[in-house]
A = this chain, B = another copy of it.
Amino acid sequence: MQIVKKILEGDIKTAARFIRDIDDKMPNVSNVLKKLYPHTGHAYIIGITGFPGVGKSTLVDQLIQVIREQGKSVGVISIDPTSPFSGGAILGDRIRMQRNALDDDVFIRSLATRGYFGGLTASTKGVVDVMDAMGKDFILVETVGVGQDEVDVMNVAHSTLIVLIPGMGDNIQAIKAGILEVGDIFVINKADQKGVERTVRDIQIMIEIDQSLKRGEDKDGWVPKIMRTQAIAGVGTKELFDQIIVHRDFLFGEGIDYYKKRKYLRDRLELLDMIESKILGDMINRLEKSGELDEALGKMYDDNIDPYTLCDDIIERLLHKDI
């Protein structure tokens, strides 16, 4: 296929158009991804998550510089549900694209949409595969927010960075265990602000409790590290990148058994997400086209039929392809 060939050659226009197709969950997507897959596995994937306002974008920009200084190429995937109000993702892309316009080895894309039937992880995995097949050495996956969706998305990363700022006392306690569990490196950004020691200590304690709860094999895993940065001034970002490389060397070195186990669980989740998103995509499409949903709501309002019964009816017909 022409499109596969072009992506493998690193053609930015073709890749950008195909990524939009992934984001829009177009039906042709998986045939191309099947052909790209044998050419993936080279890229090292770094996930970056944290509450809005902690400076994730600045940190990502700094990491791009560090990676480029080492002569490596980089892809960036920014995950941000469509924001018709601020146009955040798209606007951010343009600004960044301009800054890196002359550098072919920096490729930045946003995943903007989110269907009603999940599949955010599956879409992200697809875009990662595209950038990987293009030959990018590093892929940064940046998410806005710290919901369950974001935790799930982090499954695609080799190293996951949780970005925090000092003085988030309440917030740290509120960080979901899921986030703690995916975090390989905790980055305290804006580390010149007061309260930084307290924040470092709080996370240290969290990590220690988490480690002490682990038994047996899990103990041989990675103990999350804490790094301090002032991304806006470029302070600590080189050291942060070095720490990411330390994590990478651990995963593919002495931690290989831990890595393989973790990879298996994550691949499993990814496959599950892919299956779910495809099944639902198909069925919801059929439902939307058939007008069945509105008919059911009519029955609910006019004939006082409860939604639980309507749900069972619709499923029965969906599975028998009567819809």
Contacts and interface: CB of A to CB of B under 8 A. Distances in A.
Interface residues of A, number: 75
Contacts of A176: 81, 83, 144-145
Interface string A161-184: 000000011110111111010000
Given A296-B271, A307-B271, A52 B264 contact: no
A36 to B, nearest CB: 9
Contacts of A169: 53
A318 B146 contact: no
A53 B172 CA distance: 9
Nearest to A300: B267
Contacts of A296: 271
Given A170-B53, A293-B271, A307 B276 contact: no
Interface stretch (A11-19, A62-70, A147-155, A195-203): A147-155
A306 interface: yes
Nearest to A309: B34
- Which of A180, A294, A306, A318 has the most chain B CB atoms closer than 10 A to its own CB? A306
A314 interface: yes
Contact of A311 (B84, B180, B271, B300): B271
A132 interface: no
Contact of A264 (B51, B267, B297): B297
A283 interface: yes
Contact of A116 (B84, B86, B147, B272): B272
Contact of A278 (B146, B269, B315): B315
Label chain A's interface by main secondary structure: helix
A149 B149 contact: yes
Contacts of A53: 168-171, 174
B146 A279 contact: no
A118 interface: yes
Given A267-B307, A275-B287, A85 B30 contact: no
Nearest to A85: B177
A314 B30 CA distance: 14
Contacts of A38: 304, 306
Contact of A180 (B85, B148, B170, B264): B85
Given A146-B145, A279-B279, A175 B297 contact: no
A176 B87 CA distance: 10
Interface of A: 30, 33-34, 37-38, 51-53, 81-86, 88, 114, 116-118, 144-150, 168-171, 173-178, 180, 206, 209-210, 213, 264, 267-276, 278-280, 283-284, 287, 293-294, 296-297, 300, 304, 306-312, 314-315, 318-319
